[in-house]
């Protein structure tokens, strides 16, 4: 039994939920499937599945091996399809990690557009603001909005994201509209991201750096929630533009102190392990996303165009 067939058998055992069901699906006797699993574990020197008479559960090593097997099997299928038909459609699974707010509001619709062109590609998506370990957890790629510092990853810039300061007309009527960072010290309150710095950073038109700490009235780990709180007048919001651009265009939120923060830009990247083969479907998706979002994304808000 070659290693590739061992992988396929193992994947079938995991996905079928038991050795018996896997044997039925593979048209094999149960003892033969069980023996292959035992020999595979012996060759690898680890336990892949903990088994009782009624249940089976992947071990940590088993979970990692399962994710790698899926990727290899999909890649082989893609290669064979490409040999059979150079013009064949892309097919297979892509496992993606993406930030929650960006993923739900923007990545989701981009993936639906990609699926209209490539209906045989299917996505396994983890919408989560944590920074996943791509290799350990078996992701093909992740979307990250940050200044990257992980040299073990390859990255492709997809688009730019601006940080903006905004508040609702209700809030500004109550607290007054700050024109400079120093005026934020005069009784203003903020809606705070849990992972953000305590101090807000500004730069004057003359280039002077200004750090201001504004008291937080609400702290949360989700930008959409904080945006809604800002619309309701609860506080000032320092936020990526992709979260609150609709509220700004609708007049529910007003941009503030643009002259002091117009240089605050971060990029959205597609990142993937540098030592991993990148399948054609993943490369095509990254190219599509870069073109879909573009250098000036549709959520960009221009202060001169806001009424």
Q: Over its length of 307 residues, how does the chain's per-residue pLDDT go in tens digits?
A: 588 888 889 988 888 888 888 888 888 898 998 899 999 999 999 999 888 777 888 898 888 888 888 878 877 776 766 665 555 568 888 989 999 999 999 999 999 999 999 998 999 999 988 888 887 777 889 999 987 766 667 889 999 999 999 999 999 999 999 999 999 999 999 999 988 888 999 988 888 899 999 999 999 999 999 999 999 999 999 999 999 999 999 999 999 998 898 778 889 999 987 756 677 888 899 999 999 999 899 999 877 555 5
One domain, residues 205 and 61: no
One domain, residues 288 and 153: yes
One domain, residues 127 and 275: yes
One domain, residues 261 and 274: no
Q: Confirm if 135 and 256 have CB atoms less than 8 A apart.
A: no
Residue 242 tokens, joined: 């992709």
CATH number at residue 179: 3.40.190.10
Q: At what angle do helices 60-84 and 280-293 cross, to 10 degrees?
A: 90
One domain, residues 119 and 138: yes
Q: Residue 21: which domain range?
A: 3-80
Report the number of distinct structural domains present in the chain.
3
Of 38, 55, 80, the position where a domain reaches its end is 80
What is the 3-state secondary structure of the chain?
CCHHHHHHHHHHHHHHCCHHHHHHHHCCCHHHHHHHHHHHHHHHCCCCEEECCCCEEECHHHHHHHHHHHHHHHHHHHHHHHHHCCCCCCCEEEEEEECHHHHHHHHHHHHHHHHHHCCCEEEEEEECCCCCCHHHHCCCEEEEEECCCCCCEEEEEEEEEEEEEEECHHHHHHHCCCCCHHHHHCCCCEEEECCCCCEEEEECCCCCEEEEECCEEEEECCHHHHHHHHHCCCCEEEEEHHHHHHHHHCCCCEEECHHHHCCCEEEEEEEEECCCCCCHHHHHHHHHHHHHHCCCCCCCCCHHHCC
One domain, residues 128 and 274: yes
Work out the angle at residue 70's Cα, subtended by the Cα atoms of residues 68 and 76, and round it to the nearest 5 degrees.
100
**What is the spatial distance between Cα 287 and Cα 197, in angstroms, rounded to a whole number?**
33
One domain, residues 235 and 296: no
One domain, residues 56 and 125: no
The pLDDT assigned to 88 comes to: 56
One domain, residues 259 and 173: yes
Asked, for residue 307, whether it belongs to a domain, the answer is no
Q: At what angle do helices 280-293 and 108-117 cross, to 10 degrees?
A: 120
Give the number of other Cβ atoms within 10 Å of residue 71's Cβ: 21
Which residue, chain included where needed, has tokens 């557009």?
Answer: 113
The pLDDT assigned to 51 comes to: 80
Provide the sign of the torsion angle of the four alpha carbons 141, 142, 147, 151, taken in this order.
negative
One domain, residues 261 and 170: yes
pTM (whole model) above 0.75: no
**What is the spatial distance between Cα 265 and Cα 141, in angstroms, rounded to a whole number?**
22
One domain, residues 171 and 250: yes
**What is the spatial distance between Cα 214 and Cα 183, in angstroms, rounded to a whole number?**
10
One domain, residues 228 and 259: yes
The residues that bridge with 200 in the sheet, in sequence order, are 212
Of 26, 58, 80, the position where a domain reaches its end is 80
Contacts of residue 133, defined as CB under 8 A and 6 or more positions apart, other chains included, come to none
């Amino acid at each position: 039994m070659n290693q590739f067939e061992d992988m396929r058998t193992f994947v079938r055992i995991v996905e079928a939920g038991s050795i018996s069901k896997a044997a039925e699906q593979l048209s094999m006797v149960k003892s033969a499937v069980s023996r292959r699993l035992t020999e595979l574990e012996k060759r690898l020197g680890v336990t892949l599945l903990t088994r009782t008479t009624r249940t089976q559960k992947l071990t940590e090593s088993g979970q990692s091996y399962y994710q790698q097997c899926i990727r290899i099997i999909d890649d082989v299928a893609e290669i064979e399809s490409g040999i059979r038909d150079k013009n064949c459609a892309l097919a297979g699974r892509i496992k993606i990690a993406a930030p929650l707010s960006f993923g739900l509001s923007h990545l989701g619709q981009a993936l639906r557009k990609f699926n209209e062109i490539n209906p045989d590609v299917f996505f396994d998506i983890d919408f989560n603001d944590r920074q996943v370990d791509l290799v350990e957890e078996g992701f093909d790629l992740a979307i990250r909005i940050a200044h990257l510092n992980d040299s073990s990853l390859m990255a492709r810039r997809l688009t730019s994201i601006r940080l903006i300061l905004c508040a609702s007309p209700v809030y500004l009527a109550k607290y007054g509209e700050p024109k400079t960072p120093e005026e934020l010290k005069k009784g203003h309150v903020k809606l705070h991201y849990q992972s953000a710095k305590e101090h807000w950073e500004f730069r004057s038109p003359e280039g002077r750096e200004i750090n201001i700490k504004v008291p937080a009235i609400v702290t949360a780990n989700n930008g959409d929630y904080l945006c809604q709180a800002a619309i309701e007048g609860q506080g000032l919001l320092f936020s990526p533009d992709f979260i609150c651009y609709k509220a700004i265009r609708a007049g529910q939120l007003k941009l503030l102190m643009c002259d002091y923060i117009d240089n605050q830009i971060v990029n959205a990247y597609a990142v993937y392990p540098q030592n991993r083969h990148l399948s054609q479907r993943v490369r095509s998706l990254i190219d599509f996303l870069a073109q879909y979002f573009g250098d000036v994304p549709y959520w960009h808000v221009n202060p001169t165009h806001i009424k």
